[in-house]
Amino acid sequence: MVSSVKELNYLPEMPEKARNIVIIGAGGIVSGSHLPAYRLAGYPVVGIYDLDEEKAKSVAKEFGIANTASTVEELVKIGTEYDAVFDIAVPASATAAILKQLPDGGGVLMQKPMGESIEQAKEILDICHQKNLTAGVNFQLRQAPYIIAARKLIEEGVIGDVVDVDWRVVELHPWHLWDFLFEKERMEINYHSIHYIDCIRSIVGDPSGVYCKTMQHPKMRDLAQTRTAVIMDYGKDLRVNIHVNHNHDFSNDYQESTLKIEGMKGAIRVTVGLILDYPTGRPDKLEYITDDGKGWREVEVKGSWFSEAFIGTMGGLMKKLDDSDYHYMNSAEDAYRTMCVVESCYESSADGATPVEY
């Protein structure tokens, strides 16, 4: 992580003036990513709540948060008193119940996924609309500095029209860090590959359909799925593939965590270092090549996914609260479209392959 937000050369969304924040949830994603990002950005956090009150108190002490609530109701009172944005960082199945307790007309950022099914996603979206909430979902990868830089290269026409997107992840993931995932019927896409689906949408828009297979590994029967293959259908010219294998248990030499984007005039290659040897990670890297004959060159990008990208998901929400006409790229409405793609992936996987007639 960089030491100052001023060091970032590809800035996530940030408001002119930060609002107060209260957080529901004090798990590892909060202490390891949300709060370091908010500290870096200068976003004031004034209250925190967790089912485990001692955990909340410990996190509050570590990050200098003045108020620790014993209940959601108490946290809501603190948030109302400070005119704060609510940051919900709990398992997705608990999000709707918490949203119902928030004051109407407020601002809220929800952890991904937006529910664990399209029905839950629709319920969450409906609650946000009924309560007139300005709401976002924490799909941070699209706000990572190297993704911002890659989109900028594309928008400037450096590689021409995009015709191929390939995301490859081959590594051994430490799933033991998230005990609750071992109970999920829908695991890998909802809690990991959803980031790649969402990020690709931020680059090339919505697919018309998907082909998908998500599955277990014989070495990891305790988890519903740990391997996924997705083809996102964008018609006859644009090919989009996602290849994920979290069970590469054969040393670190050939781990992969790479996004490759090819255009008519060049290509972009992003190494997402966080996923390699997670959670320690390896260095990120952004490279591109064009048809000018100069070969591959590296773009210097300061900052990473964890924690700098978390600045943008909250910062964009604050900007939206200040200006209702502002286009907030992490809005609940946009996140719902990612959930529609995810639902289609699960449906495709369940339907199975087209039989081969011999």
The pLDDT of residue 7 is 86
Which distant-in-sequence residues (6+ apart) come within 8 Å of 31 by Cβ? 59, 62, 63
pTM: 0.95
* Chain CA centroid to CA 326, Å: 21
Which tens digit of pLDDT belongs to each residue from 48-101? 999 999 999 999 999 999 999 999 999 999 999 999 999 999 999 999 999 999
Q: CA gyration radius for the chain?
A: 20
Strand 297-299: give its sheet, edge to edge: 209-215, 227-233, 239-245, 162-170, 256-263, 266-271, 285-290, 297-299
The pLDDT of residue 62 is 97
- Can you tell me the mean pLDDT for 132-158? 97
27 to each of 84, 93, 284, how far by Cα in Å?
20, 16, 25
The pLDDT of residue 289 is 98
The more confident residue out of 7 and 151 is: 151
Share of the chain above pLDDT 70, in %: 100
The pLDDT of residue 337 is 98
pLDDT tops 90 at residue 32: yes
pLDDT tops 80 at residue 298: yes
pLDDT tops 80 at residue 188: yes
Q: What is the largest CA-CA distance in the chain?
A: 70
State whether residue 333 is helix, strand or coil. helix
Which tens digit of pLDDT belongs to each residue from 269-295? 999 999 999 988 999 999 999 999 999
Helix intervals (H) in 187-324: 188, 194-204, 310-322
The pLDDT of residue 276 is 94
Whether the CA torsion 301, 307, 308, 313 is positive or negative: it is: positive
- Number of Cβ within 10 Å of residue 157's Cβ equals 12
pLDDT tops 90 at residue 313: yes
Q: Scanning the structure block, which residue is given the tokens 């964009």? A: 316
Q: Where are the beta strands (DSSP E) in 102-226?
A: 107-110, 134-137, 162-170, 209-215
Q: What is the mean pLDDT of the chain?
A: 96
Which tens digit of pLDDT belongs to each residue from 2-30? 878 888 899 899 999 999 999 999 999 99
> Pairing relation of β-strands 239-245 and 297-299?
unpaired
The pLDDT of residue 65 is 98
Which tens digit of pLDDT belongs to each residue from 206-223? 999 999 999 999 999 999
The pLDDT of residue 31 is 95
pLDDT tops 80 at residue 1: no
Which DSSP category does 52 fall into? S
Query: Distance between CA atoms of 328 and 274, rounded to whole angstroms?
Result: 25
State whether residue 353 is helix, strand or coil. coil
The pLDDT of residue 258 is 98
pLDDT tops 80 at residue 205: yes
Report which residue type is found at 142: R
